[in-house]
Amino acid sequence: MNVIDPHIHLFDVELGDYGWLKPSNPPFWPDKPIINRSFNDADLNLNSLMSLSGFVHIEAGFNNAQPWLEIEWLEEQVSIPFKAIASADITLAPNEFMILIDKLKNYKNVVGIRHIFDDETVDILRHQNTPINLAYLAQSNLIFETQIEGCDDEAVTQYCGMAKSNETLTLILSHANFCPSATKINDFDVSSKETIENQVSDNETNDNKILQWRNNIVRLALNKNVSIKASGWEMVARDYTLKHVENVISFLVAKFGVERVMLASNFPLTLFSHSYNDLWQSYLTLNFDEEVLNQLMHDNAKRIYKIS
């Protein structure tokens, strides 16, 4: 099986900044020392059943003030086909944003930018500069990537509004929108958007959180310019189960369609739970036929990120 991993981070802790990796800065994970070192493409090891034919590097905080420096570092040292999603602040003054985008476009491997939203989604999307900059990004034929909380109804509402207003812009969401970890995800009949909305009455239990996440996935999937990566399981629970992973991926495929879902690693953060090889090996055991697995593990990422 050929693999294209659409969500990895490489570090050079001697050259880069990576403020978030420093022990004195958040996030204050007790196991953060596991990833507080340099990683390169030689660390992306797979067994003989799989071959890594390419990847997408997602900005990792090498130098967010001068994000092209991370791209230059990557282009100097990566030895296999890759594309890059660079860091860029979508709320920059439009003239500054346009200058930055034009500079990033000069690098052959750059296919888009990322600005992490998380709990600032609503404020960022309401910022006066955001719609102007997103329009320029679409005009530049670049991808816009972010992550939002799947259980934040208002954030999803704002994101859906943005997606509808920018139908020519390719949008990608990361980490399956952080589905809460549980085993009851298949216990609910979600035959329609209305059914889900009627079921979600409060958020006091984890099961209701899952229903809320499912409801929001349905809303997001209605936007045909939005794709989603299934990854980052360790960000929700270090001890996540393969059953949870399979349930989430199955739901994403059912709602987005197989052509808009990608399996990814989030390396090296995946090391909080499993080795790189073990994660991809677990994906091979998912209850999908070989053709679907090939789309999820290779073809979709190749097409969406334009990897030759």
* Per-domain residue ranges of the chain: 2-183+222-304
Q: Is the pLDDT of residue 27 over 80?
A: yes
Backbone angles phi, psi at 71, to 5 degrees: -65, -45
Candidates 290, 233, 292; CA nearest to 257 is: 292
Q: Give start and end residues of each alpha helix (H) in 140-186.
A: 153-165
Whole-angstrom CA distances from 9 to 83, 93, 217, 219 are: 12, 28, 25, 29
What is the structure's pLDDT at 182?
61
Average pLDDT, the chain: 93
Percentage of residues in the chain with pLDDT exceeding 70? Answer: 92
Q: What is the pLDDT of residues 153-193, one digit of tens each?
A: 999 999 999 999 999 999 999 999 999 986 444 443 334 34
C-alpha–C-alpha distance, residues 125 and 52, integer Å: 36
What is the structure's pLDDT at 308?
85
C-alpha–C-alpha distance, residues 283 and 297, integer Å: 8
pTM over the 0.85 mark? yes
Q: How far is CA 120 from the centre of its chain?
A: 17
Q: What is the pLDDT of residues 43-78, one digit of tens each?
A: 999 999 899 999 999 999 999 999 999 999 999 999
Q: Which CATH superfamily is domain 2-183+222-304 in?
A: Metal-dependent hydrolases (3.20.20.140)
In this structure, are residues 149 and 212 in contact, taking their beta carbons and an 8 Å threshold? no
DSSP track, 63-110: -TTSTHHHHHHHHHH--S-EEEEEE--TTS-HHHHHHHHHHHTTSTTE
* pLDDT level of residue 201 (50, 70, 90 thresholds): very low
Backbone angles phi, psi at 284, to 5 degrees: -65, -25
Whole-angstrom CA distances from 173 to 100, 105, 160, 243, 276 are: 22, 21, 12, 22, 21
Candidates 107, 298, 21; CA nearest to 307 is: 298
What is the structure's pLDDT at 135?
98
Query: What SS3 class is residue 188?
Result: coil
